[in-house]
């Protein structure tokens, strides 16, 4: 197979409090808030995007904001953990900065910290064995030499890993890298943001949707033509794939892998500067064209948000 997934495009989760979410991901973790928009399928709720300076694929963490939502139950059929990459010598800095973090088990030679965000999402800060050459966002609260470079990977929890493994390797072109207990590692073509760990949890409880749940993981397609080829390949393998959906900042297709985890394949472009300049990313509410006529009503419904060091949106 010549076409292979390079790595992760973005990860989307659910938060019950937009302001606490901004304070944590932008204020504490030092990511840039690159886009404040609405859920395209529910314009009465925010959709927040974080990443590096431009929100490049492989760095994009996004959240549906459902104010006051009850917590969901993490479990099988879900992405259950997200890991971020930092330089090998940055763990001491992050250990001091993240007072509630604990040491993560050493896996595949990697050292890391584990913690939860305000909604209970499981996160890891991973210092890989090789230098992550990506340029981090340097205008935030974390010194550049210690800053998060983007994703390291994600962990999926499924009842039985074999069918998920087959889809990752046979359909998407991931390489099997090894196993550690019930953890099976698969890696895409990209040097970073390419790790998918599959956790086999045959006795695990099925996860439910709500705050603190990772909604889906998106993988990268270089452009629309590559995405069309991915869609046809998945259809040929009897996957139930959506039509291409325009998300303004990328185009998307969605399907559920055999273990129940929602996968997306998203195009690298056009990116977040289509409606804001690089210097002003994340500083104003941006709406897709179909909702601009309802801007006043939408703005009246949405709660105000404040960046850690800036004025109210």
Among 61, 128, 59, 134, which Cα is nearest to 91's? 128
Residues 225-282 have pLDDT tens digits of 999 999 999 999 999 999 999 999 999 999 999 999 999 999 999 999 999 999 999 9
Q: What is the per-residue pLDDT across 22-40, written as a single tens digit (0 to 9) for each?
A: 999 999 999 999 999 999 9
- The pLDDT tens digits for 103-158 are 999 899 899 999 999 999 999 999 976 789 999 998 999 999 999 999 999 999 99
Q: What is the DSSP letter of 218?
A: E
CA–CA distance from 151 to each of 123, 127, 195, 208, 292 (Å)?
11, 11, 9, 24, 33
Q: Are 138 and 145 in contact (CB under 8 A)?
A: no
Chain centroid to Cα 13, Å, comes to 7
Across 73-82, b (16+ Cβ under 10 Å) vs e yields ebbbbbbbbb
d(CA 174, CA 190): 10
- Residue 292 phi/psi, 5° resolution? -60, -35
**Domain annotation for the chain: domains and CATH numbers:** 8-301 (3.10.180.10)
Torsion (CA) 153, 25, 30, 106 in degrees, nearest 10: -40
For residue 127, give the 3-state DSSP assignment.
strand
The answer to whether 173 and 7 are in contact (CB under 8 A) is no
pTM over 0.75: yes
Report d(CA 202, CA 198) in Å as an integer.
12
Contact (CB, 8 A) for 57 and 97: no
Name the token pair of 214. Answer: 């990772």
């Amino acid at each position: 197979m010549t076409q292979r997934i390079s790595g992760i495009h973005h990860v989307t989760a659910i938060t019950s409090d937009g302001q606490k979410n901004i304070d944590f991901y932008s204020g504490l973790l030092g990511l840039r808030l690159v886009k404040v928009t609405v859920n395209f399928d529910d314009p009465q709720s925010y959709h927040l995007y974080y990443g590096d300076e431009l929100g490049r694929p492989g760095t994009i963490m996004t959240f549906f904001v459902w104010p006051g939502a009850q917590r969901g139950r993490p479990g099988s059929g879900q992405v259950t953990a997200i890991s971020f990459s930092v330089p090998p010598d940055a763990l001491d800095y992050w250990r001091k900065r993240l007072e509630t973090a604990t040491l993560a088990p050493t896996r595949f030679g990697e050292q890391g910290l584990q913690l939860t965000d305000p909604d209970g999402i499981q996160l890891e800060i991973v210092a890989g064995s090789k230098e992550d050459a990506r340029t981090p966002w340097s205008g935030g609260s974390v010194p550049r030499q210690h800053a998060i470079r983007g994703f390291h990977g994600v962990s999926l929890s499924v009842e039985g890993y074999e069918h998920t493994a087959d889809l990752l390797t046979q359909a998407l072109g991931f390489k099997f890298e090894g196993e550690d207990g019930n953890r099976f590692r698969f890696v895409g073509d990209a040097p970073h943001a390419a790790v998918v760990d599959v956790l086999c949890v045959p006795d695990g409880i099925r996860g439910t949707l709500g705050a603190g749940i990772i909604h889906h993981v998106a993988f990268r397609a270089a452009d629309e033509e590559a995405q069309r080829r991915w869609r046809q390949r998945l259809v040929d393998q009897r996957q139930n794939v959506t039509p291409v959906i325009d998300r303004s900042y990328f185009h998307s297709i969605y399907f559920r892998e055999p273990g129940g985890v929602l996968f997306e394949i998203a195009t690298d472009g056009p990116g977040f500067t289509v409606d804001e300049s690089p210097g002003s990313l994340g500083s104003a509410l941006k709406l897709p064209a179909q909702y601009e006529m309802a801007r006043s009503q939408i703005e009246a419904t949405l709660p105000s948000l404040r960046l850690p060091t800036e004025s109210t949106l």
